Chains A and B, each alone.
Chain A
């Protein structure tokens, strides 16, 4: 008579990456039925990075609000920036999603001066 030996093994894997501060980038687009609302997002980033983001509530059938880093609004007027974000965001956002976006702004300046 033979005895079966049973053995249990566990394998542990760990991935270490740097915590993103704050955990969102430049812009977050919030769907109307997303699990986290704009107010909750704002409160979260206000705790982690106070006074760096602004909620812009929008009149849109799918998107409830966009949360934008203040630095971007300082570079480009809020209306123009939110119009641009909405135009691009509405192509991929649905009511239940939250999308974070990285926005790079480059300002080109050209000036002529008298010699």
Chain B
């Protein structure tokens, strides 16, 4: 079962509200006292913006909040995934967003807090995102009925390399492989370290494009010169197709199945000593 973290798990439920006629010094003191960096601004009971400590520092202390550049309030549901919230922060260039639950304003999520939390979704060795990044974007593409393709890689004989040369050398090789994958993955694709010596690329593209990418990456990785002249190759499993029309089936579940098939194909390729094993979905359909 994929565990996608939601805004509900991290947002701050304790927040203060200020009035548009409050003075800047009063609000500054409030934020300092409560040890918070921002708060919603109300005018006659209506939410009109968000004020941040940064805004207040730039403003004369005698002014009223109405004269401070407030950020447009961006309000999201607490059920939103952290990845979607990240996209929203980038799109709106906001420093903070408001969170609502059951139709009521229930808290605040700052960009800093979100980035801190998303840091735990980044693999420390390679700097790549972990698997939930791919699951989120895959489910999103499926919901939008877009074509998707998953390329699943694993490094051949990595266990042997680890035992022969040691884990430090193994780590160096994984770092180099991840850099090669990052540098050669298209900008519209999503790359992650799936776990151990496994990597996955999600493409919003047809299976043929994924297959071509898998061959290209396998070639780049096998041509590269690694530490101690160790020869590295990878096996890949590719799966692709399109989801047509709205379905009751959960796209997260579909993604889980697809990823599983791709990983099995990769194992199959490894067993057959071929670079690639491709699984196309019959009738161009997924789930």
Contacts and interface: CB of A to CB of B under 8 A. Distances in A.
B63 interface: yes
The B interface, classified by DSSP as helix, strand, loop or mixed, is: loop
B90 interface: no
A96 B64 CA distance: 15
Interface residues of B, number: 9
B60 A40 contact: no
A39 B60 contact: no
A50 interface: no
A39 B60 CA distance: 13
A38 B64 CA distance: 10
Interface in B38-77: 59-60, 62-64, 66-68
A39 B63 CA distance: 9
Interface string B64-106: 1011100000000000000000000000000000000000000
What bracket does the count of chain A residues touching chain B fall in? 10 to 19
A96 B59 CA distance: 11
A71 to B, nearest CB: 25
A37 interface: yes
Contacts of A37: 59-60, 63-64, 66-68
B60 A38 contact: no
Contacts of B63: 35-37, 40
A99 B68 CA distance: 20
B44 to A, nearest CB: 13
Nearest to B23: A40
Interface of B: 21, 59-60, 62-64, 66-68
Interface of A: 33-40, 43, 96
15 contacts: A33-B60, A36-B62, A37-B59, A37-B63, A37-B68, A38-B67, A39-B64, A39-B66, A39-B67, A40-B63, A40-B66, A40-B67, A43-B21, A43-B64, A96-B60
